Structure 1
Amino acid sequence: MKKTILAFSRVSPTLLEPYKDTYNIIVMRPEFGDMDAQFEDAIPSAHGLIGGNRRLGEAELASAKNLEIISSISVGYDNYDLSYLNGRGVMLTNTPDVLNETTADLAFALILATARRIPELDAWTKAGNWTKTIEASHFGCDVHGKTLGIIGLGKIGEAIARRGRFGFGMNILYNGNNRKPQLEKELGARFVPQEKLLSESHFVCPVVPLTDGTRNLIGRKELALMGPESILINVSRGPVVDQDALFQALEEKTIRAAGLDVYVKEPLVSSGLFKLKNVVTVPHIGSATSDTRNAMALRALENLLTGLEGRQPRDLVNTHGLGHRWTQ
């Protein structure tokens, strides 16, 4: 009997086309009607799920009696109830590494856009305000030679640090769970307490997964430590930053600016942040290039097929819960 694959989002039908003789393929599409209804209709027969941007836990998966694996087209997996999946024996995979460089590109785009006030001055120019030489009130700040503080020097953090160090001659401070002696040597990076990083960095960039320990990692206390010339960049997860505290800091100009790709609630249709000139907001586009999204989908497909074949996927998230299934 063929196993059934349900593609619940972010998947081109052509990705799964070569496997239609081996598996029953169901691809949810907006043009087919309500997406939630499609999911509820298909989930009882599904052995494998592939997609992203859908919260999945006990309520959503109770009828998925055949489910073996969820292959998420993402790095973060806070949308999934890992404890429930472990209890069910359902594998969860993600797509790490594929988007490191692309996300680092975006982080630096936000650094440059906030420092040089690109969106603000673009709108000002297009509105016909450039009638004479600009004044000091329109000046931005330099990026080259400044201090970049990274909280969480993992692979994305490292890619951001490399751009700062080798592209802009920046000084690198970092903080995290582990020291990185090789990167300290290569990048001249210094491991410092978080308080020191916040108070001495011109640009602060948290690059951490969302956990109970990192929720509101940057709050009122941390923002107060940053100072009026510092800029916050967030390309990790929205709840890592206390969004209300950030709004207040930006409105009162206790920090200079912020560049945000992620938010506490997504999609974000309206927000007081949108009314502020000193924040650059983009709609969670960290991996949003054709090349990277295609690479993520292929990596997720590889994980999915490996799991359905009874082998350990390369990017198994719940290794501690299910790793005993395979000989390491």
Structure 2
Amino acid sequence: LGTADMMESKTSRTRLSSDINVTAERSPNLLEGGFSIDCLFATVPPSLSFFGSTCDPVLSSFRIQNNPTAVTMGKPIVLQLGDDIKWNHDLYKDFTSKFEIRRSYSMPRAEFIQALKDRKFGDFFAIYRPFWNTGGEMGNWDKELISLLPSSCKIYASAGAGFDWVDTETLASRGIIYCNAAAACTESVADGAIWLILSTFRLFSWSAAAARSGDPDRFVDANKNLGAVSRNPNGFSLGIIGFGKIGRRIAEKAHKSFDMKVLYNDVVRMPAELEKPSNATYYKDMSDLLATADCVLVATPFAGKTLLDAAAISKMKRGAKLINIARGKLIEEEPLVAALKSGHLSAAGLDVHYNEPHVNKELIKMRNVEVLSHNAGASLDAHMGFERLGMENIISFAKTGRAVTPVNAHLINKSRL
């Protein structure tokens, strides 16, 4: 089948023999775009062992390199970042039967850049980062790194919910889908948010610090005085900024556990069926939500711009509480400190911080502030899910051209798909 013939239409077919059909496809599958010819897909009867004892019509394929005459046969390459798989061994066994795995382990940035320049990992079609705490040693995925990716790369599936460390727009410009794993940590992050809600209303961090100090005077102070300034969260209003899957799960838990009145702000109103579990009320204008909610919780991705600066914090209801389980840079900390000192805000709960891993020295002194080490989503359940979901994204994309949890699909030029 000639190159020109295959460029004439999306799909061309020929017969390799009376039993084997071969499809040359500029496909939505596997190695889409970037090549003049993407793949040759062979449909082989089970009775034949052309690709071994079993044959997947998509994954068992001829791969055509930049030279159309250089046809090789093999599995698509996946570049795995970070540590070895720890939990989903059966799925990984299936994964490695479909893909050839190349490893970078934990290369520092300079070494990783040189490896990409030298094409050490080959023409990989996918990047897989199964863990959040390893595989990120090369630093932010910016234009410098992304420009070095081979044109064969079409999907990057990573652990974690946030993606402020990766330039998803530049990936999209290269026709690369980025997939996060927020779905795997939704429950964990929501539980962490519930803890922060409860702690900011009841001021348990004050009590815990006093008890852990071993100082009888601090113990007595907390024992006698905390009760007069703490509240039960029941019946208060919770304003959530960002009503995605995590935001909605937090809303549902807070509504059902504490009978909180849920308000939310997002770029668009959610369908009624997504509002119903928490009986949520939509606020189109964030300023209106800030002025109304007894507790404001930030659950929106960081898109390079601060969300709550001094002006926004000043609009919050006097005595309100502020919680952040999203990204530290969404909230300016100096205005937050000032609002807490003045009494404009009564408490804050922060899982994330503006300059992680450094925590604001003023905030850690305040007994009405609960601070965590970016652990809201860090449960064993979440880590097992990160590992699994990354593989599921790559398998789905290879077979169907569609990922399970794409973040930037809307940014990719449809002509490339």
> How far apart in 2 are the matches of 1:296 and 1:274?
31
Can you list the C-alpha shifts for 1:60-108, whole angstroms capped at 9, x where unaligned? 2333335332112123322222232223222322224222222111101
Q: Mean alpha-carbon deviation: is it higher for 109-118 or for 40-49?
A: 40-49
The one-letter amino acid paired with 2:351 is D
Question: For residue 287 of structure 2, what is the amino acid of its counterpart?
Answer: E
Q: Distance in 2 between matches of 1:10 and 1:240?
A: 30
Residue of structure 2 equivalent to 1:102? 188
Kept in 2: contact 1:45–1:64 (CA 8 A) = no
- Residues 6 and 42, structure 1, Cα contact 8 Å, conserved in 2: no
CA contact (8 A) 2:88 2:384 kept: no
C-alpha displacement at 1:196, in angstroms? Answer: 2.9
Using the size of structure 1 for normalisation, the TM-score is 0.85
Report if the CA contact (8 A) 1:11-1:297 is conserved. no
| Aligned residues between the structures | 320
Change (3 A) 1:132 1:176: closer
Q: Which has the higher helix share?
A: 1
CA distance, structure 2, for counterparts of residue 184 and residue 68 of structure 1: 35
- Judged with a 3 Å threshold, the aligned counterparts in structure 2 of structure 1 residues 15 and 132 are, in CA distance, closer, same or farther, namely closer
Which of 87, 100, 105 in structure 2 is aligned with 1:23?
100
Aligned to 1:195: 287
Post-superposition offset of 1:305: 3.7
Larger radius of gyration: 2
Cα separation, 2, equivalents of 1:318 and 1:153:
18
2:223 corresponds, among 122, 134, 145, to 134
Q: How far, CA to CA, are the matches of 1:253 and 1:132 in structure 2? A: 20
- Cα distance 1:131–1:280, how it changes in 2: closer, same or farther (>3 A)? closer
How do residues 165-176 of structure 1 correspond to structure 2 at under 5 angstroms? 165-176=255-266
The match for 2:162 is 76
Q: Shift of the alpha carbon at 1:232? A: 0.4
Residue 120 of structure 2, aligned match among 45, 51, 55: 45
Name the SS of the counterpart of 1:135 in structure 2. Answer: helix
Alpha-carbon distance in structure 2 between the residues aligned to 1:115 and 1:167: 14
Distance in 1, Cα, partners of 2:341 & 2:394: 46
TM-score when normalising by structure 2: 0.68
How do 1:273-288 residues align onto structure 2 when only pairs under 5 Å count? Answer: 273-288=363-378
Query: Unaligned stretches of 5+ in structure 2?
Result: 1-73
Query: Do residues 302 (structure 1) and 392 (structure 2) align?
Result: yes
Residue 38 (structure 1) shift: 4.9
Q: Deviations over 1:264-300 (max 9, x none)?
A: 2332366432232222111212321111111122111
1:61 matched residue in structure 2: 146
CA separation of 1:318 and 1:226: change in aligned 2, threshold 3 A? closer
Give CA deviations for 1:86-137 in whole Å, capped at 9, x if unaligned.
2322232222422222211110101111221112211212323334893335
**Alpha-carbon shift at residue 306 of structure 1 (Å):** 3.9
Aligned equivalent of 1:116: 202
Amino acid at match of 1:218: L
Kindly report the root-mean-square deviation, in angstroms, between the aligned alpha carbons of the 2 structures.
2.8
> Are the aligned partners of 1:207 and 1:235 in contact in 2 as well (CA < 8 Å)?
yes
Distance 1:158 1:306, change over 3 A: closer
The counterpart of 1:289, out of the listed 379, 383, 401, is: 379
* Residues 234 and 259, structure 2, Cα contact 8 Å, conserved in 1: yes
Equivalent position SS for 1:256: strand
Contact 2:252 2:277 in 1 (8 A): no
Q: 2-side partners of 1:282 and 1:255: how far apart?
A: 19
SS across alignment from 1:70: strand
Amino acid at match of 2:280: A
CA contact (8 A) 1:148 1:202 kept: yes
Q: How does 1:168-317 map onto structure 2 within 5 Å?
A: 168-180=258-270, 181-184=272-275, 186-192=277-283, 193-211=285-303, 215-268=305-358, 271-307=361-397, 311-317=401-407
3-state DSSP class of the match of 2:183?
coil
**Is the contact made by 2:146 and 2:170 (CA closer than 8 Å) also made in structure 1?**
no
Question: Mean alpha-carbon deviation: is it higher for 82-91 or for 132-141?
Answer: 132-141
Question: Cα gap change, 1:10/1:269 in structure 2, threshold over 3 Å: closer, same or farther?
Answer: farther
